[in-house]
Amino acid sequence: MIRPIITLRRKRILIDVDTQREFFLASGVSCIRNHRRVLANIRRVMAWARLKNVRMISTACVYDNGTKDRIGCLETADGAGKISYTVRPRRISFAADGCTDLPRDIFRHYDQVVLEKRDIDPFKEPRADRMLSELRANEFVLIGGTMEGAVLATALGLLARRKNVTILTDAVGSRDKAAAQVALRKVEAKGAKLAETKALLGSSHLRMVGVCGCDRCRGRVHKPPLKAGA
């Protein structure tokens, strides 16, 4: 019999889905739509998690397996790296090696567990499947991307395991707006709660995302002045 890795129930667990440079920076081949707004909200959620000592599970894709969510994101590519403020000092990372071993009471020693995976669905990785299945919490809060890909697969897997899932819709990115809307309706019908970051964290004036070098994220985009008589 395998001993449970988590013995204490937590109020909330933050699930940070694939917040990697390839998917969230303008320079990435697979960058999401509206990345500035999504990154600003992800940054706020990360600050809240640190302040409230909310434990995190982060998933990270490590190489191309031919699916839509893996375009250009190779294990050796710079784009596979995580966004800087989604990484916490007290963390532990596990490779996608087909194993299931995990330290007992892992969140007594670490604030963040990073689980590498070879598919958009984390439950296809034995170690990630074990951790997400055994972990006990009142609420699993999901952010990251993409809604129509990895976030959808993660949410459906958690819901199938009778977990309470909340998706912060303005902290989740997508590349296909229509497919993302379908995915949101699907998880909501299965029992997930949809919310915005302000409902959980309150209002904020944060606008700069701090990691992307594009003009929009640096605040260098200005609307052209209106012509006289227009």
For residue range 191-224, what is the model confidence (pLDDT) as tens digits? 999 999 998 887 666 555 566 656 666 565 555 5
For residue range 81-133, what is the model confidence (pLDDT) as tens digits? 899 999 999 999 999 999 999 998 899 999 999 999 999 999 999 999 999 99
For residue range 55-68, what is the model confidence (pLDDT) as tens digits? 999 999 986 544 44
Could you tell me the pTM of the whole model?
Answer: 0.83
- Contact assessment for residue 14 and residue 50, using Cβ atoms and an 8 Å cutoff: no
Number of domains in the chain: 1
pLDDT at 148 over 50: yes
DSSP codes joined into one string, 135-184: --EEEEEEEEE-IIIIIHHHHHHHHHTT--EEEEEEEEE-S-HHHHHHHH
Beta carbons within 8 Å of 164's beta carbon, 6+ residues apart:
137, 138, 139, 140, 193
pLDDT at 80 over 70: no
Domain annotation covers residue 207:
no
Say how far apart CA 61 and CA 81 lie, in whole Å. Answer: 9
- Residue 26 has a pLDDT of 77
Tokens of residue 128, six digits:
């990630």
Residue range of the domain that includes 73: 21-201
Look at 25-39, 42-56, 173-187 and tell me which has the smallest mean pLDDT.
Answer: 25-39
- Residue 34 has a pLDDT of 84
Q: State the CATH number of the domain containing residue 162.
A: 3.40.50.850
Domain annotation covers residue 6:
no
Domain annotation covers residue 7:
no
Q: pLDDT-derived band of residue 2, with 50, 70 and 90 as boundaries?
A: very low
Does the N-terminal peptide bond of residue 67 adopt cis geometry, omega within 30 degrees of 0? no
pLDDT at 75 over 80: no
Domain annotation covers residue 42:
yes
Average the pLDDT over 163-172 and give the result: 97
Domain annotation covers residue 8:
no
Strand order of the β-sheet with 165-173 is 91-94, 112-117, 55-61, 10-17, 137-145, 165-173, 193-195
